[in-house]
Chains A and B, each alone.
Chain A
C-alpha cells in the first residue's frame, strides 16, 4: 500500500499540483478575510477536470498550506489570517515588533509542521479501527450520529443555540430540494427542471463561503494595513534544542488541538484559543503571555495544526466532516462520485492512504516554502483588496459555470450569496449550515431506512443502545447552552472570568469568522 501511495503521489503532475496548491493555500490562509476553506471552495471547479486522486491531492495541499499560512499575517501585521491564528497574534506580533520576527515565525513554522505531521500520523492509526466499528453500525446508529454531530456543533460552539439550529435547519432545507430519498418524490422544485437535481453543492459553497463572507470583509473595511517589517527576518529563527525544551507545552497544546479537532464542526478556530488559555493558566509565569513569549506562539500554532488530524478522523472514518474545510473535502469526493462514509476505507483504501500521504507531503512542502520563502509572502498581503476580491468573485462565477456549463448554476450561486448575507444579518454561524447541508440527506435517508426495516416506528432508534446513547447525548447537549449562560451570568456578576473566557474576550477584537 505504501509503495502504491508513493508511486501515485510522486509523479510529475501530482508533485506539480502539490507545489501549486500549497502556496495557494498559504496565500489564502495569510490574507485576512480569506481562509483555506475559501481557497478550497474556489478551486473546487478546477477539480472537475481532474481524476479523484489528483483532486484529493490538489485540495489537500491547499488545506495544509492554508492552516499554516495564517501565522504570517498574525506575526507580521498582528492580524490573524484566519480564526485559527487569533491566539498567535497575542505573542507573535509583540515578538515581531520587538525585532524578533524570525524567531516568532520560526517557532510558528516549526510548531505547524510538527503538530500537523504528528496529528496526521495519529489520524492514520485511529481511522481504520474507527471505520471498522463504523461499518458495523446500522441506519439507526448513523441517523443518531448525524443528529448528534449537528446538535453538538450547534450547542458547543459559540453563539446562540436557536441561531445555530436555524442555521442547521436552513442547510437541511436546501439539501431537501430536488428528489427525495427512498421514494423519489419531488420536493420544493416549484415546477423548474433546474432544481430537479437539487441545489448544486458548488453554488452553495461558493455563494456562502466565498462571496458572502468576502462581501462581509469588504463591507466591514477589513483591509490589511500597517508596517510590514521583513528586515529582521533572518535564518530559521530558533535553535531546535531550545524549541524542544518546551516539550510540556507542545504536548499539552497538541492534546487539546487533537481532541477539539475531533469534535464535528469545531476545529482550529476554537482549539488555538482554548490551548492558549490553558497553557497560560498552567504557566509559572503567566504575566509574560501577551508580551512576546515563546510558549504563547507554541500554544496556538501547535493546537490549531493538531486539529487537522483530529478533524480528519471523523471525516474519513464516519463521513462526518470534522470542520468546514473537511466539509469541502467531502464535497470534492462526492463530486468525484465517491461515497464518503465508513465504507470509504473498504472501497477506496488507496485514495484514503493517498490522502494521508499527500497531507504529510504538503506539510513538508509548506514547511520548506515558509522557511525559505518567508520574505516574499508578506508582500502578497499588500495586494489592493478591490483587485483581489474582484478576481475572486469572477473566479467564483466562472467556477460555478463549469459545474453544469449553464448560467443557471451562476444564478443559483448569486442567490446563495444573498442567502449567505441574510444569514450574516441574523448573526448565524456557517458551520451548522454546511453540516446540515451535507448531513441532512444522510439523516433523512437513514431515518427512513431505519423505520422501513421495522414496524416499531421511531421507538426502534431508542431501543438500539448505541443509537439511544447518541440521541441522549444530543438531547443533553441542548440543555448545555442554558447551563453555560447561567454560569457565565453568575461569573460576570461576581467579576470572575476563567482564562478561556478571558482569551475569548480578547479574541473578540479581531472579529474573525470561525467557519
Chain B
C-alpha cells in the first residue's frame, strides 16, 4: 500500500473520531437567535469533508511511491530522533533548567544531524555552550523573559 493510501485511511479514521467527539460538545445555551446552527455544525461539516476527501484520495492514489519518504528509513529515523530529543529537552528543562538542558539538547542534535560524520568533540562542546549562552543572553537578559531554572535547582 502506498503512502497516500495509508494517509487516506488515517484521515478517514480521524474524521470518524472527530464526528464522534463533535457529538459530545455541549452547547452553553440552546437558542442564540435566527437560525443559528450551533457549535456542532461546523465540526460535523469538516468531519464529513475529511471523510469524503479521505475516500477520494484513497481512490485516486493508485501509483506506487516514486521515492522513499524523507530520504529512506535511516534518514526518517534520524528525523524522529531529533523530535525525540526535542521532547526530552522539554523534560530536561523542567528538571535541570535551561542552561544544562540546552547544552545537552544542542550536543545531541548536532551529533544526530551530522549523519555519522566525525566531529571534533571540542567543536561540538563549544558550539553547544556558545548557543546556550547566546539564547540565554538574548531571551533572559535582553528580552527579560524568565527561562526555566529547573526543579532540582529552584
Contact = CB atoms under 8 A, between A and B. Distances in A.
Contacts of A397: 86, 89-90, 105
A442 B53 CA distance: 22
A390 B79 contact: no
Interface string A448-471: 100111111100000000000000
Interface residues of A, number: 65
A398 B29 CA distance: 40
Contact of B32 (A176, A387, A444, A452): A452
Interface in B51-99: 53-54, 56-57, 60, 69-71, 75-76, 78-79, 82-83, 86-87, 89-90, 93-94
A246 B94 CA distance: 61
A187 interface: yes
B102 A394 contact: yes
Interface range for B: 35 or more
Contacts of A49: 143-145
Interface string A361-401: 00000000000000000000000011101110111011001
Most buried by B among A160, A394, A414: A394
B68 to A, nearest CB: 10
Contacts of A393: 82, 86, 109
Contacts of B32: 182-183, 448, 452
Contacts of A390: 106, 109-110, 113, 127, 131
A412 B110 CA distance: 23
Nearest to A385: B113
A386 B53 contact: no
A407 B94 contact: yes
B33 A183 contact: no
Nearest to A454: B34
Nearest to B93: A407
A169 B50 contact: yes
A173 B90 contact: no
A247 interface: no
Given A166-B11, A185-B25, A215 B46 contact: no
B13 interface: no
B75 A219 contact: yes
Interface stretch (A90-98, A255-263, A418-426, A488-496): A418-426
B131 A172 contact: no
A459 to B, nearest CB: 10
A427 interface: yes
A414 B86 contact: yes
Interface in A433-452: 443-444, 447-448, 451-452
Interface in B11-31: 11, 18, 21-22, 25-29
Contacts of B106: 390, 394
B127 A387 contact: yes
Given A176-B46, A219-B78, A220-B70, A398 B147 contact: yes
Given A218-B113, A219-B70, A394-B109, A426 B28 contact: no
Main secondary structure of the interface of B (DSSP, over half): helix
A186 interface: yes
B70 A453 contact: no
Contacts of A215: 70, 79, 82-83
Given A182-B32, A385-B113, A390-B106, A220 B75 contact: yes
B110 A169 contact: no
Contact of A187 (B39, B78, B79): B39
Q: Is the interface of A mostly helix, strand, loop or mixed?
A: helix
A405 B35 contact: no
B114 interface: yes
A402 interface: yes
Given A182-B36, A391-B131, A426-B11, A162 B53 contact: yes
Given A417-B86, A444-B42, A447-B42, A162 B79 contact: no
A46 interface: yes
B100 to A, nearest CB: 14
B136 to A, nearest CB: 9
A395 B56 contact: no
Contacts of A163: 4, 53, 57
A387 B50 contact: no
A45 B145 CA distance: 11
Contacts of A162: 53-54, 56-57, 60
Contacts of B50: 166, 169-170, 173
A169 B46 contact: yes
Contacts of B70: 215-216, 219-220, 421, 424
A20 to B, nearest CB: 12
Nearest to A169: B50
A448 B28 contact: no
23 contacts: A162-B60, A166-B50, A166-B54, A173-B50, A176-B42, A183-B28, A185-B28, A215-B70, A218-B78, A219-B79, A390-B109, A394-B106, A394-B135, A407-B94, A411-B90, A414-B90, A417-B86, A425-B3, A427-B3, A443-B42, A451-B36, A452-B32, A453-B34
Nearest 5 interchain pairs by C-beta: A426-B7, A219-B70, A386-B113, A185-B39, A180-B39
Interface of B: 3-4, 6-8, 10-11, 18, 21-22, 25-29, 32-39, 42-43, 46, 49-50, 53-54, 56-57, 60, 69-71, 75-76, 78-79, 82-83, 86-87, 89-90, 93-94, 102, 105-106, 109-110, 113-115, 117, 119, 127, 131, 135, 139, 143-148
